[in-house]
Structure 1
């Protein structure tokens, strides 16, 4: 039994890494700085900086006393004016959050069995494999979202927001926001935790050997 617990120490670290990665994923999903738009000529626009997120758009503009004011527009899941990439990214980030949550539940169950001594020693497969696959799948979803957002920004793709938003189709310049860095770290940690889980091996001394009856 002590061998089983000692061999799972790496998976405990993996659980901590997966927890942080899941928190970062849910945080990145709610951040607005996925794409940062700049307008060089503010006389032709109502804003000078706009941040486009997965669920809202925030516009920043200077007031008369040189202070900065912001206005945020929230959009729902099925908004028709949102481009395909944002719809796909919403789904990918939601899926990653769900997969990460399932992975956490699975690893808690397995670690509980390890530390209570009820892990099946005659199991032929890695008991952490489900958690590993779920976390790796979540990391892949986050990675796809990050690369697709990067592709949209590099291609300077625009968005047809409703006229009430008073936002042009394209800014003068745009760049990747800080939310992408948070998502990158989340994806890396989810992938790393999945590899921790898949690397588990039963200790040799705990393996069950069949007994041979003497004739």
Structure 2
């Protein structure tokens, strides 16, 4: 059993890294700083900043030197004005969260089999580690694709036809990638690392079952 526990050190580290990756992924879904729109002053509105996320947009208007107005608007699945990249990123991050949590659950079961240490469960543990690793790699890939979609939209300076009630232009004078994108990159890297650590599990030598040759 000691060798079996020793052989799962990478998977224990992968569990810790994967837990942080799931937290960062969920945080990146809730934050709005995916795209930063710098708004110029117009006759109808003051200068400000629009933070565009995958679930909502928050608008910061500088009404005076000492006061700043903040307005946030949530998206809905039926909103037709949302571009394809935001819809895809939202679904990809949701899928990544679900896959990451499923992988984490399977990893817990696999570690339990290892620490129990019975011979007949080592193959089961190895299969669970492999499945958990595949799920985490898939989750990391989903996050990476969402980051690339956001980056390409900013690089191409694409606009969004928000409703008139949002008081936002179709396209700002300048836009940039927000800090949440960096958090998502970190979540993707940690999720992929956790998945790879989970996949590279080998049954300890003392736990391997060898055939018994009977003497004639």
TM-score by length of 1: 0.94
The separation in 2 between residues aligned to 1:139 and 1:199, in whole angstroms, is 17
Indicate the SS of the match to 2:176: strand
Shift of 1:2: 1.1
- The corresponding residue for 2:3 is 3
The separation in 1 between residues aligned to 2:66 and 2:156, in whole angstroms, is 32
Shift of 1:64: 2.5
> CA separation of 1:9/1:170 partners in 2, compared to 1, >3 Å: closer, same or farther?
same
> CA separation of 1:189/1:101 partners in 2, compared to 1, >3 Å: closer, same or farther?
same
- The corresponding residue for 2:37 is 37
The separation in 2 between residues aligned to 1:60 and 1:172, in whole angstroms, is 16
How many equivalent residue pairs?
Answer: 215
TM-score by length of 2: 0.94
Runs of 5+ unmatched residues, structure 1: none
Mapping of 1:20-169 within 5 angstroms?
Answer: 20-43=20-43, 45-118=45-118, 120-121=121-122, 126-169=127-170
- Report Cα offsets for 1:22-61 as digits up to 9, x if no partner: 0000000000000000023344644421000111111111
The separation in 2 between residues aligned to 1:114 and 1:40, in whole angstroms, is 60
| RMSD of equivalent CA atoms | 1.7
- Report Cα offsets for 1:96-138 as digits up to 9, x if no partner: 0000010011001111111122462456964410000000000
Indicate the SS of the match to 1:33: coil
The separation in 2 between residues aligned to 1:10 and 1:136, in whole angstroms, is 16
Q: Following superposition, which runs of at least 4 residues in structure 1 exceed 6 angstroms of deviation?
A: none
Indicate the SS of the match to 1:81: coil
